[in-house]
A and B are shown apart, each in its own frame.
Chain A
Amino acid sequence: MKLFESKHDFLYPWDQVTAANWQKYPNELSTHVVSVDILSRSIDKENKVLRTERLIGCKQPVPRWMTALVGGQEYSYVREISEVDLVNKTLIMKSHNLTMNHLLQVNETVIYKPDMDLPGQRTLFIQQAEITAFASFSRICDKIEDWSVERFGQNAKTGKMAFEGVLKTLGDKWEESGVFVKDVSNSLINDIHEVTEKTSEVLSEVSKLGNVFRDD
């Protein structure tokens, strides 16, 4: 098992960040993410916690060697559970892959909470992923894991920068109207690269492992 960890400060208040989190899904350029569905949603009124279960679909260009093992599947899916805790001011998301999880398991946890130093202005983002590959040979597992961690890190970096852009646009509108307006221009949408759907990305790009495998 390999671990990936990342922290970042977004210069926006926590409530805005959580609202943007629901609206950053259209991914016209991040074409691996093809769908987002809400599977269940409940509110713990006493504790003011909103719990949501989502299904993220992504294209799955499965490499030949893997197709032989798992059978060809056009799409892969990630399940995500999130909880917005209004009292403790935390947004915590946990996700894992539903597809190919006997070959590669990616368990991701993301936490958004107000920065201790500037709680009304900054939001701390903490991301942790556990990546485990299963294969017959430990050497191949190592390669898959190393590659996945590397890809995870690259994507996370791009994703954070892009989410800053989304937050800025939505934040300006927030100041104007006091509420989030979901009209985000197409050009901006095109810049969006997912922050938290790294699980999908890792999976969808697992295809490139086909090359690694052939090198052996």
Chain B
Amino acid sequence: MGNIMSVSFAPECTEKKTKYDDCFNKWYTEKFLKGTSMENECTQLWDDYITCVNAALANHQIKPSLDKAREDQPFSHEEISGSDKK
């Protein structure tokens, strides 16, 4: 059965993303949800992927609007957890 994985906005990062997503989803369902691991076990794959993404964000000129959004709306932990208590 073929998997259709979502792609990265930067084509050169999609393969790295797929490998990381596979690792993450396995860890999430098998360990995190069961409370047996609070350690990210996909660090090497993550490093490969995020290095690619960060370079692409700069190249595609998405970085400035992203930085502004992060500054305007940080969506802090307090803000996120507070939205369930409104």
Counting contact residues on chain B (CB < 8 A from A), the size range is: 35 or more
User: A31 → chain B, closest Cβ, in Å?
Assistant: 12
Give the residues from 20 to 49 in chain B that come closer than 8 angstroms, CB to CB, to chain A.
20-22, 24-26, 28-30, 32-33, 35, 38-40, 46, 49
A66-119 contacts to B, CB under 8 A, are 75, 77, 79, 81, 83-86, 88, 90, 92, 94, 96, 98-99, 101, 107, 109, 111, 113
Kindly list chain B residues whose C-beta atoms are within 8 Å of the C-beta of A94: 73, 75, 79-80, 83
Contacts of B59 in A (CB 8 A): none
* Centre residue among B33, B46, B79 by max chain A CB count within 10 A: B33
A43 to B46, CA, bound (A): 14
Residues of A within 8 A of B77 (CB): 44, 49, 51, 83
Is B3's CB under 8 angstroms from A98's CB?
no
In the bound assembly, the distance between CA atoms of A92 and B77 in angstroms comes to 10
On whether A90 and B25 interact (CB within 8 A), knowing A44-B77, A81-B75, the answer reads no
Q: Choose one: A25, A41, A44, A92; the contact of B46 (CB below 8 Å).
A: A41
Report which B residues bind A (CB closer than 8 A).
1-10, 13, 17, 20-22, 24-26, 28-30, 32-33, 35, 38-40, 46, 49-50, 53, 62, 65-66, 69-70, 73, 75, 77, 79-81, 83-84
